[in-house]
Structure 1
Amino acid sequence: MNHTPHVTELAHLATRTATLAANGSPALIRARECVLDLIALAIGGTQTEVGRIAIRSKATSQFPARLGTPGCSIFGGIGHFTPGDAAGLNGLLAHALQCDDGMRRAHGHPGIAVIPAVFAAAEATNADGPTLLRAIVGGYEVFARLGAAINPEHLSQGFHPSGTVGAVAAAAGASLVFDAENTRWLENAMALAASASGGLMEHSLYGDMSSYFVGGNAARVGIEAAILAREGMTGPLSVLEGKYGMAAAMAGGTLRTSDLLGLDPGGPKILQTYTKLYPSCRHTHAAIEAALSLRAQILDPDEIESIRIGIYKLAIDECDRPSVHTLAGAESSLQLTVAAALIHGDISLRNRSYGRYQDKRVQLLSKRIDVVHEPAFDALLPGLRPADVRLTTVGQQTFQVRVDLPRGEPERPLTWDELADKAWSAASSVLGAQQFSELEGAVASLESALSLRHLAEAITTNTDLGDTEND
């Protein structure tokens, strides 16, 4: 090979971004926000059907005490596990409420892969808070750059970026915990993870549970690749641009080096992360926000005769679902989420249930919704993700609202108080107010934390892994 492998260059970029993130910097502040959001969602995820299935699957896999190490924590449970098992389960749990962070230019969810892998690596090495946060910044940098470099072609071929790109980013984050200056470990961890990464978007057609598994698997692959690289295992450094690399095998040969390796005057890529307000596919959020705005303008949702949602093709491909049979399907349906927003006036974690989508009024209204492709909106991606919602009443009054970017995007960020309120709504089914306050405080003080002990204590509950009482 006559040029420096792209994975090597990406490793150097991740290292530089992570090590230059100073205490109090926007990047570390954003990393703290992502940690609070992710952990709270994972804790809430322990109470979902898919979460309980995953927890039961690990009920006999606790880390053997005789090895002389406590193992790694599960968010919201008791017991300790191998780094791979802990990261995989935490990533799955964090995705279970459909409300985890994302990056629109990378077309995926970095947090569910990066944070569980980094946390497991940090617990395994007794790392401090700043090390945890800087490694997260580095992992998100890899996710953003690689995701933007191969998407949307990668996604269009049916691959799930959260699982594929996520595995590489998780490996980067975990390796940065082990040794932020050892780029050989880092590049080989990323190459190993890319070689073993996977995930398909077939779930988007049926609303099954596989998406949660894919996200968790990325965290597991990432931490295990980092451990193997630390022990000396090597991977193909041409894994991104090579004849059988990710670009050739998974993106039709697309690998935009300007996105992968170019300088960004906007600063660390973690600053491009969005936070969700609604537990549903991100492509539904602009339409939901428009619908909630319209609801404030009409007196009675029963007076709605018809609704037209004008939106871009990618949203139609993933979310034009007039008929669904699961909660996951409903939360990825433009028709059902908009109808529920108009009928209930609320799409939130506090009231998340399949029953709200099965409500007769919601079902009837969803049948009066037309989803229409707006070709002009396609050209606005990824800078914007617009939705134009037009509502007509039985009296032939027309109301219309367009939302170009929903709340939570970097251009329309949430405050810490809003983030904490969301986190409480996610975790309150498991944590009491005092323990949640301890969790929030432990995350807020990570930049000065000498260890993760207080955070680990705040996420440990009396929940018995494998409990089926509430199923």
Structure 2
Amino acid sequence: MDGVGVTLTDLAHAAASVDLDDVPGEVADRTVDVLVDTIGAAALGSGRPEVRALQRTFAVTAGAPARDGGATAVGAARGWPAAAAAFLNGCAVVADQLQDGHRLARGHPGAHTVPAALALGETLDVPLAEVAAAALAGYEVGVRVGRAMGGTPTGVHDIGTWGQVAVSATVARLLAPGDGAAMRRAIELSASAVLLTDAGTVFAGRTGSHAFLGASIQHGLTLGQAAVAGLVAEPGTIERHLLAVASPRAAAATPAGADWGTWEILAGYLKRHPTCAHLHGVNDAVAVLLADGGVPHDRVVAVEVAVFAGAAGFDAIADTELAARFSIPTSVAIALVTGRLDETVTTDATVRSATVRALAARVRVRHDPALDDGYPAGRPARVTVTLADGSARTAVVGRPAWDGDRLPPPGAVDAKARRLLTARFGPAGGQLVDLVRGGADPTAVGRALRGLADDAGQYTSTASSSV
């Protein structure tokens, strides 16, 4: 990355010095949005059977349950070592495909940095502003590395690559604020030991993919701590190793001055739909059709979906709710049949219903080369629904909503997080949003989450108090 408009030293010093009080207001606001959104996604995901099973398994080796102290894994009343909590929360964040992302970097920065920052911040008992600053620093570093990569090789998912580097940068900012040398060590050490995760496992909707994000966070956290302790990699790991093994091409980093020049978090996205982001142009187009007079699903004879090359492969009809999150035909059918596409209808029962499966079979996905130039600037899609009377309705979307400057409407991020927290923990869960927006320290947020946990009654301490 040296010599392409920003040296790695400049980048490291800028990241090490991030302070939420000194950044533009819109950057601070977006950072808290990502924090709130990630907590909401983790809350919903923590209720999934496979994530609860992970917590039970990890508890066997996590030592005696800590009533106070340690870090919080959403959904559990006990305290955990920071690395274990970060792993478990990372698995939960990604489980329902509701995590944040960055289209131009092709990955999920906040989903990596927030669980790490919260786990370490709670363990160290630092203010929430420090947690947010660390998550932002890691976000900015990770996205710049991701944009330098320009994607991943065929068959390799982005999780475990630049997102892991983002975590290590988050750790360095939290443990060694202002120390540019420690930050550079963290970036280079993490870039020297990235994970290469299987895209096939992710896109097939296999539960093992949850662990990819958790492992990436845990690995990045460990390497970040090692770098702060003084361990070093041979300089040049980004170009020599990361770009060589995890990128389809060698590419220059996005130019940025020591003051960042631009803030990448402003170009990130949050998810409206519980699906892979490549589907969001399609999902938005269907939402437009539903909002514009509706679509009588029982009169639909055909649906043609035209997409860019990167989305064309998501054309299989799903058999499970996880696979449906990576299926254009099934997600389109769910939305047309139920009138919406959210976590309440993305269920095995809906996916396997005769009505949804029959409609999914009438969805044709095709690659339109004319749309290829629209990615990664957007995720272009054109959806045409043909009815039994021969009439047709079409909607076209370029860049999905909630992406970059297509901001969520006022209050929408909090409403999403409250909905997810309430679905998991009942009405008291929604109050977590107020705690975070109010700047409550991470230990207070952790205590509140522990008090809402399924096993909270097993503990008699401040950690079991409700919101």
Conserved? CA contact 1:208–1:326, under 8 Å:
no
- Aligned match for 2:244, one of 229, 248, 258: 248
CA distance in 1, matches of 2:334, 2:259: 40
Question: Residue 47 of structure 2 aligns with which residue?
Answer: 47
Q: Give the match for residue 312 of structure 2.
A: 316
Task: From the superposition, tell whether residues 91 and 2 of structure 1 become closer, same or farther in structure 2 (CA, over 3 Å).
Answer: closer
Contact persistence 2:148–2:252 (CA under 8 A): yes
Alignment of 1:299-338 (within 5 A): 300-317=296-313, 319-321=314-316, 323-338=317-332
- Counterpart pick for 2:284 among 284, 289, 305: 289
Does 2:412 align with 1:458? no
Which residue of structure 1 lines up, in the alignment, with residue 27 of structure 2? 27
SS at match of 1:163: coil
Q: Which residue in the other structure is 2:101 paired with? A: 102
Summarize deviations over 1:297-350 as a string: whole Å, max 9, x none.
Answer: 355211111111011000113x222x3333221110001001111111111123
For 1:272 and 1:181, the matched residues in 2 are separated by 25
Residue 19 of structure 1 aligns to a residue whose secondary structure is coil
Runs of 4+ in 1 over 6 A off after TM superposition: 1-5, 262-266
Gaps of 5+ in 1: none
How far residue 167 of structure 1 moved from its aligned partner, in angstroms, is: 0.6
**Which segment drifts farther, 259-268 or 124-133?**
259-268
Instruction: Quote the residue 1:164 is aligned against.
Output: 161
Q: CA deviation at 1:146?
A: 1.0
2-structure distance, mates of 1:236, 1:69: 40
Counterpart of 2:265 in structure 1: which amino acid?
I
Instruction: Supply the distance in 2 between the matched residues of 1:64 and 1:325 (Cα, whole angstroms).
Output: 40
> Are the counterparts in 2 of residues 13 and 261 from structure 1 also a CA contact under 8 Å?
no
User: In the alignment, which residue of structure 2 is the partner of 1:361?
Assistant: 355
SS at match of 1:191: helix
Q: Is the 8 A contact 1:6 1:240 kept in 2?
A: no
Greater shift in the superposed pair: 75-84 or 19-28? 19-28
Query: Which runs of no fewer than 5 residues in structure 2 stay unpaired?
Result: 459-467
Offset of residue 263 of structure 1? 8.0
Kept in 1, the 8 Å contact 2:266–2:405? The answer is no
Return the letter of the residue paired with 1:373.
H
TM-score (norm 1): 0.89
Q: In the TM superposition, what is the alpha-carbon distance from 1:65 to its structure 2 partner?
A: 7.2
Q: Distance in 2 between matches of 1:310 and 1:264?
A: 41
CA offset digits 1:237-274 (Å, max 9, x no partner): 311012xx1111222441223x2656898731111111
- Structure 2 residue corresponding to 1:235, chosen from 230, 233, 243: 233
Q: Displacement, 1:452?
A: 2.3
Q: Number of paired residues?
A: 453
| Structure 1 match to 2:216 | 218
Over 3 Å counting, the alpha-carbon distance change for 1:312 and 1:148 in structure 2 is same
Partner of 2:382: 388
- 8 Å CA contact 2:65–2:80 kept in 1: the answer is no
Q: CA offsets, 1:90-147, max 9 Å, x none?
A: 1111111111100000111112211111112212322112211111111110121111
**RMSD value over aligned CA atoms?**
2.6
Alpha-carbon contact 2:141-2:166 (below 8 Å) kept: yes
Between 29-38 and 120-129, the greater mean CA deviation after superposition: 120-129
Distance 1:48 1:442 in 2: 24
In 2, distance between residues paired with 1:13 and 1:214? 29
1:445 aligns with 2:443: no
Alpha-carbon contact 1:148-1:260 (below 8 Å) kept: no
Q: Using the alignment, how far apart are the partners of 1:368 and 1:53 within structure 2?
A: 37
CA contact (8 A) 1:10 1:260 kept: no
Give the match's secondary structure for 1:407. Answer: coil
Q: 1:38-187 to 2 correspondence within 5 Å?
A: 38-64=38-64, 70-152=69-151, 154=152, 156-187=153-184
Give runs of aligned pairs for residues 6-21 of structure 1, distance below 5 A: 7-16=8-17, 18-19=18-19
Answer yes or no: is the 8 Å Cα contact 2:319–2:352 preserved in 1.
no
| 2:461 counterpart residue number | none
8 Å Cα contact 1:283-1:385 kept in structure 2: yes
